[in-house]
Chains A and B, each alone.
Chain A
Amino acid sequence: MGNETKDHAALAEAFIRDEERVDWHDGALWWIRQKRDIASRQIPEWEALREAASRIKSHVLSNLHDYLLEFEANATRNGIRVHWAADAAEHNAIVYSILKEKGIRQMVKSKSMLTEECHLNEYLIERGVDVINSDLGEYIQQLDNEPPSHIVLPCIHKRKEEIGEIFHEHLGTEKGVSDPTTLTRFARRHLRDVFITRRAALTGVNFAVAETGEYIVCTNEGNADMGAHLSEVQIASMGIEKIVPKKAHMGIFLRLLARSATGQPITIYSSHFKKPREGQEMHLILVDMGRSRQLGRPEFRDSLKCIKCGACMNTCPVYRKSGGLSYHNTISGPIGAILAPNLDMKKHADLPFASTLCGSCSNVCPVKINIHDQLYQWRQVIVKEGYAAHTKVLGMKAMAWTFSSPGSFSTLGKAGRWVLNNIPVAVNNRFNPWFRQRDMPEGPKESFSEWYARNHRPGGAVDPAPKASSDLQSIQPE
C-alpha cells in the first residue's frame, strides 16, 4: 500500500480482457436488477416508500447530533457499552483492547463494510489475533486474499470453478469440485466449528434505533447470529449515519432493503439486538471516519443516506462491465464513487469519472440519493482541486477550444471525417485510446452544418429530405 494504485480504467482493462467473463458478470448482475424490478412492482406504494425513506434519512442527518446522544443514552441503559472512534486507527484499537482485556485471540466476523474500510483484519492479525469472515462470499474473498467486489455479493466476480480451486487449495476439498451446493455444505461444516469455538464475534450494523437503543443486523445466511449468540463478547461496529429515530421507521426501511438488494421480500434474518445475553458483554463502536465531514458538504451530504443495498451497482453499466475490484475502494460502484473522494480525493479522483452519468443508479436507489448528480459534481470539484488526470485535463482543454471556435470546429470535423474515410489506419492503432476494444466508425459523408446549408432554402423553410420523413413514420406508434 501507499504505492501508486492503478486507476479504474487500467484495472477495468485487465477485467475486460476475458470477454466471456465480462458477459457473464454483466448478465448475473442484470438478473439481480430484474429481480429487484419484479419485487418493487409488487408494492403499489413503492415510490411513496422511497420518498418516505429519503425524508426520514434527511431528517436524521439534520438532527444527527441529538439522535446520537439519544441512542447512546438508551443503548447504555440497555447494558451495551458504547465507544466512539474518529477514524480507522481508533476503531481498530478499541476492538483490540476489548479482546486483549479478555485474553481472546480468535474472533469471527460477519459482513461489515466499515471494518473492511478500517482494514481491521490486517490490524488484528498483525497483533496475533485470528479473524475469520463468516459471510460465505467474504470468507471466499478472505481465503483468496482479495477485498469484496460487491457490498452484498462479495465474490460475484468469481466463477464457481475458481471457488472450487480456492476450496481445494485452502480447505482440502477434492480437486475439480465446483458444485455450489457441495461447496456451500463444506463451508457450512467448516464454519460451524468456527462459530462453536470463538469467544468473540463482531457484526456490522444496518440500522440503529435512537428511541430504543437497539441495533438491527440483516443477513440471509444467519452468520451474524451464529457468531453473536455463541460468543461471550459481542462487538458491533457502525457508522454514525446508521441511526433511525424510531422503531416504527424500520417498517419503511425493511420493506425497501431486501427488495432493492436482491428482490427478496425481506432478508431471511433481521435481528434486533437490544441487550446482552445473560453473562455476555456487548460493545458497540460508533465510527465517524469522514462522515461528519461529508455531512458538511451540502452537495454530497445525501450520500450518507445509503442503506448499502447495492442496487446502484447491479444496474450500473460501468460496474457490470468493469467489476467491483476495478474501483480500488471497499465500496465500489456508483455509491462507492461518491463516498470515496470524501475519504481521499487524490487517491479516488478517477472514480467519479467511471460513469456514463446515465442516471440509472439514482432511479433504483431506495433512499433516492441523486447519485449521478453527485458523480457529476465530484468531477467539478476534482478538476478544480487539480486532481484530474493530465490526459483528461488536456482533452477537456482541447475540446473547450474546439467548441468555442466555430471555424476550428468545422475544420477539425472535416479533417476527422476525411481521416476516418481515407486513412483509417491513422486512427485504428494502439496510440488511439478509443480504438482499444472497439473499431472506429466510418466517417459520415457530411456534417450537420453542411447538410443544413445544402437543404436550407433562402426564406427560412427547410426542405425535409424524403428519407428523413419516412424515418419519422417508422417510429410512430402502430
Chain B
Amino acid sequence: MSARDSILAAVLRNQPALSPLPDLSPFRGEDRDLIARYAEIFAGIGGQVFRVRDLTEINALARSRFDADRRFVTTLPELGEPFETLSATVDPHSFNDVELAVIEAELAVAENGAVWLPEHRMGQRIVPYICQHLGVVVRAEVIVPTLHEAYARIGAGQYGFGAFIGGPSKTADIEQALVLGAHGPITMTVFILEPTTVPTEPA
C-alpha cells in the first residue's frame, strides 16, 4: 500500500464521529471610523501612515522621505518619475537593488493594520519583500473592519499568490529586542487615498 493510501486508511479508521462546524455569522466588525482606526493600529505596529488626496502627493512624499537617487519601482504608472513601472516578466532576482516599491492594496483591515495584496497588485511576488522600503496605496473605501469582512470580499480569489502584509519586516529573536527590517523592508508606509468631494485646484 502506498504511503498515501495507508495514511488515509489510518485517518479514516481513527477519526471520531462527525462534529458540526460552528456558525461564523456572529463574527463581524464595527463599520465606523475605519480610517482612523486603521491608521492608529498601523502606526502602533511600526508603520507610517499618510492621508493623501492624490498620487502627486505620494510622489512628493516618496522623494522627500527616501533616497530618490536609488531605484524606485511601482505598479502604478501614474506615479510618474522617478518611479519605474514594474515588469511582471523579468527575473525576480533583478529587484534586489530596489530602494522603494509602491504598490496598491486591494483591501486593508482596520483591526490589525494589514493590507491584502494579491499577486497582480504586487507586480511580482518578490517585490514587497525584497525592497528596502515598501509603500502601499490604500483607497479609503477599501478599508474593512476585520479579517472576516476581508475574507468575505476576497472570496475564492483569482490569485496564484496573495498576502496580508501588516508592517515592516521585524524580528525580536535576539533577547526580545524589536528590530525592524529582518529580511524584508525596513520601513512600510501606507498612503491612505481620500479624494475630497471638492476638486483640488488644477496645478
Docked Cα-Cα span, A155 to B176, in Å, equals 10
A249 at the interface (CB under 8 A from B): yes
A191 at the interface (CB under 8 A from B): yes
B51 at the interface (CB under 8 A from A): no
Docked Cα-Cα span, A346 to B166, in Å, equals 44
Choose one: B17, B20, B113; the contact of A266 (CB below 8 Å): B113
A31 touches B8 (CB 8 A): no
Stretch with Cβ within 8 A of B (4 or more), from A50-58, A335-343, A465-473: A50-58
Q: Size class of A's contact patch?
A: 35 or more
B10 at the interface (CB under 8 A from A): yes
A286 at the interface (CB under 8 A from B): yes
B32 at the interface (CB under 8 A from A): no
A136 touches B150 (CB 8 A): no
Q: Please name all residues of chain B whose beta carbon is closer than 8 Å to the beta carbon of A247 when the two chains form the complex.
A: 151, 154, 156-157
Q: Please name all residues of chain B whose beta carbon is closer than 8 Å to the beta carbon of A275 when the two chains form the complex.
A: 160-161
A48 touches B26 (CB 8 A): yes
Docked Cα-Cα span, A181 to B113, in Å, equals 24
Q: Which of B153-203 contact A (CB under 8 A)?
A: 154, 156-157, 159-177, 179, 181-185
B88's nearest neighbour on chain A, judged by CB, is A278
A221 touches B163 (CB 8 A): no
Q: Please name all residues of chain A whose beta carbon is closer than 8 Å to the beta carbon of B152 when the two chains form the complex.
A: 248
A137 touches B173 (CB 8 A): yes
A223 at the interface (CB under 8 A from B): yes
Q: Distance in Å from the Cβ of A210 to the closest Cβ of chain B?
A: 12
Which of A31, A45, A180, A252 has the most CB atoms of chain B within a 10 A radius of its CB? A180
Q: Please name all residues of chain A whose beta carbon is closer than 8 Å to the beta carbon of B125 when the two chains form the complex.
A: 225, 228-229, 277
B140 at the interface (CB under 8 A from A): no
Chain A 233-276, CB within 8 Å of chain B: the 1/0 string?
A: 00000001000010111111011000000101111111111111
A192 at the interface (CB under 8 A from B): yes
Chain B 78-97, CB within 8 Å of chain A: the 1/0 string?
A: 00000000000000110010
A221 touches B170 (CB 8 A): yes
Stretch with Cβ within 8 A of B (4 or more), from A10-18, A287-295, A316-324, A417-425: A287-295
Q: A90-B3, A180-B174, A274-B160 are in contact. Are A249 and B24 (CB under 8 A)?
A: yes
Q: Please name all residues of chain B whose beta carbon is closer than 8 Å to the beta carbon of A180 when the two chains form the complex.
A: 174-175, 177, 179
A254 touches B147 (CB 8 A): yes
Q: A221-B182, A269-B165 are in contact. Are A251 and B154 (CB under 8 A)?
A: no
Docked Cα-Cα span, A268 to B113, in Å, equals 9
Q: Please name all residues of chain A whose beta carbon is closer than 8 Å to the beta carbon of B45 when the two chains form the complex.
A: 264-265, 268
B160 touches A277 (CB 8 A): yes
Q: Distance in Å from the Cβ of B20 to the closest Cβ of chain A?
A: 6
A62 at the interface (CB under 8 A from B): yes
A272 touches B151 (CB 8 A): no
A248 touches B165 (CB 8 A): no
Stretch with Cβ within 8 A of B (4 or more), from A63-71, A95-103, A405-413: A63-71
Q: Which of A26-77 contact B (CB under 8 A)?
A: 28, 31-32, 45, 48-49, 51-52, 55-56, 58-59, 61-65, 68-69
By a beta-carbon cutoff of 8 Å, the part of chain B in contact with chain A is 2-4, 6-8, 10-22, 24, 26-27, 41, 45, 92-93, 96, 109, 111-114, 124-126, 129-130, 146-148, 150-152, 154, 156-157, 159-177, 179, 181-185
Please give 6 more A-B residue pairs, beta carbons under 8 A apart, in addition to A184-B182, A274-B157: A84-B7, A136-B182, A137-B173, A255-B147, A288-B3, A295-B10
By a beta-carbon cutoff of 8 Å, the part of chain A in contact with chain B is 28, 31-32, 45, 48-49, 51-52, 55-56, 58-59, 61-65, 68-69, 78, 84-86, 90, 134-137, 140, 153-156, 158-160, 163, 180-181, 183-185, 188, 191-192, 195-196, 212, 220-223, 225-226, 228-230, 240, 245, 247-252, 254-255, 262, 264-277, 286, 288, 292-293, 295-296, 298, 301
Q: List 7 A-B contacts (CB under 8 A).
A: A155-B174, A184-B174, A188-B183, A230-B126, A262-B172, A274-B162, A288-B7
